[in-house]
Amino acid sequence: MTPAELASVVLTAAHAVFAERGLDRAALPERTVVERPRNPEHGDYASTLALQLSKKVGVPPRELAEALADQLGRASGVKSVEIAGPGFLNIRLDAAAAGQLARVIVEAGAEYGRSDRLNGEKINLEFVSANPTGPVHIGGVRWAAVGDALSRLLRATGAEVGTEYYFNDAGSQIDRFARSLLAAAKGQPAPEDGYGGAYIGEIATEVQARRPEVLTLDDDAAQEVFRVEGVALMFDEIRSSLRDFGVEFDTYFNEKDLHDRGELDLALARLREQGRIYESEGATWLRTTDFGDDKDRVLRKSNGEWTYFAADCAYYLDKRERGFERVVIMLGADHHGYIGRMKAMAACFGDDPERNLEILIGQLVNLVRDGAPMRMSKRAGTVVTLEDLVDAIGVDASRYALARYSSDSPIDIDVELWTRAGNDNPVYYVQYVAARTASVARNAAELGLARGDGDDFHPELLDHEKENELLKALAQFPAVVASAAELRAPHRLAHYLEKDVAQSYHRFYDSCRVLPRGDEEFTDLRRARLWLNDATRTVIANGLALLGVTAPERM
């Protein structure tokens, strides 16, 4: 019995109690939940439904809990119900009901853990969005891992998600990039405000190979060639490196397109309609202080140039016009100041900033080797890049390490730890369960043993303490996926895989022999344990897939 099925049983019992007592059934929720108690001695699951309903219907919580317990005690699969405190229900399942979960998981396969919790939500998720002036640095890599995992979690819970990378390919930083390429091509040092690193020379050389005549042009024309060709090459390199990291975006959006299509004028007109625009000192302003911003923001300067914030407004409007109800933007640690102005901007458009716009801030990441942070890339010169991280610890470890921690906490990634083949390496610890469960299944097949179909499965035999512990851990997977999606917290899934599933499986494996030794018979108990082994493999594989990490069959 899954937690969702048990929750349905609890709600059915509540309907019966309300009918018996003539209570108002309108007070009953459409759904309820059951949770694992913190202390396993209190039972398999706990419900607070009696406490939630007590005030609504004017019945003391303990009295209501007693009536619910009496009804639940008659339900198939429920072994016992105890009342604790003011009205908590502690529920124990019989072995058959608990063990049946293994079959549910195996038969569901890749679908186990998915739900319709966020069905109907249309979310635009923008992350990484590094300027095309250099390789993706380690801070951007964090968002690549977290953002991609979050998109998978949101989709697994029923949301319609569009992932997006915003290329800031217009403005002064692109001019500095083009001047840096031109200087490198001429063999000159980078401009004082330009970009350094070996990659600048590499791109300059590639541009010259594509456009051999470039250095015969005057500087303005040559710089424009380096701007167009250089941005395209950098763009391709960023996309390629992210693809190798397992991250693909549904949309790559160019800022320049906003300008070329007149979308900044459209955004300005829309804001005028809302009565939020005014003119002062020759410039055009947005009255963001009406919605809590610390100052009003310039959209168009007195010289007629658009500001970056104007492009932000146009881009937000573009996303909303494409039908996305919620715009989620992941920004780096130095962008805290953007939150207030962006929320105010959404309100200026007439949106609800709490509903329509969500901004997540990611903290800094250090790659640590020999106890000291790595500060510079061999290629980029000033930052540690995606390639540096992957070269140091690999794709799987990189993605897991970056998604394992709450994004609002700074992290150090220790190269020695994350490359170690030991249980203190979190990704190794989880992947080892994937490999061990696959090994058990493989060894069973080599012995000519099979778990059979559902008719051969006897879940009531899974009554060992460690079997029950593992089953309860596996049962929580759908709820963990849903909460990780709703709270924008992929790290919750990583912690669950480590602390609940992996630990429980290792204890089960050490205490409960799955396959026979020598001439031992392959009993119904061992067959049931093989179902439980394969169910664990399913949960580990599904969980790692949501983090963008592989579930190896051998290690």
pLDDT value, residue 377? 62
Residues whose CB falls within 8 Å of the CB of residue 452, separated by 6 or more in sequence, listed in order: 527
CB atoms within 10 A of CB 22: 7
The pLDDT tens digits for 457-477 are: 999 999 999 999 999 999 999
Nearest Cα residue to 213 out of 191, 237, 229, 233 = 229
H or E segment and range at residue 163: strand 160-167
Residue 292 in tokens: 């809590």
Residue 414 in tokens: 């220790």
Confirm if 2 and 475 have CB atoms less than 8 A apart: yes
Three-state secondary structure of 491-512: HHHHHHHHHHHHHHHHHHHHHC
Kindly list the distances between the CA atom of residue 338 and the CA atoms of 332, 359, 490, in Å, as whole numbers in the listed order. 10, 9, 24
Long-range contact set of residues 176-179: C-beta below 8 Å, sequence gap at least 24: 176/133, 177/132, 177/133, 177/227, 177/230, 177/231, 177/234, 178/223, 178/224, 178/226, 178/227, 178/230, 179/223
CB atoms within 10 A of CB 526: 19
Residue 530 in tokens: 């093989």
536: left (phi over 0), alpha (psi -120 to 50) or beta: alpha
- pLDDT of the chain, 555 residues: tens digit per residue: 778 888 889 888 888 888 888 888 888 888 888 888 877 778 888 999 988 888 888 888 899 999 999 988 888 888 889 998 888 889 988 888 889 999 999 999 999 999 999 999 999 999 998 788 888 888 889 999 999 999 999 999 999 999 999 988 766 788 889 999 999 999 998 888 888 888 999 999 999 999 999 999 999 999 999 999 999 999 899 999 999 999 999 999 988 899 999 999 999 999 999 999 999 999 999 999 999 999 999 999 999 999 999 999 999 999 999 999 999 999 988 788 889 999 999 999 999 999 999 999 999 898 998 888 877 665 656 678 899 899 999 999 999 999 999 998 999 999 999 999 999 999 999 999 999 999 999 999 999 998 888 788 999 999 999 999 999 999 999 999 999 999 999 999 999 999 999 999 999 999 999 999 888 889 999 999 999 999 999 999 999 999 999 999 998
Using a pLDDT cut of 90, give the percent of the chain over it. 66
The pLDDT tens digits for 359-375 are: 999 998 989 988 888 77
pTM attached to this predicted model: 0.88
**C-alpha–C-alpha distance, residues 325 and 357, integer Å:** 9
H or E segment and range at residue 18: helix 3-21
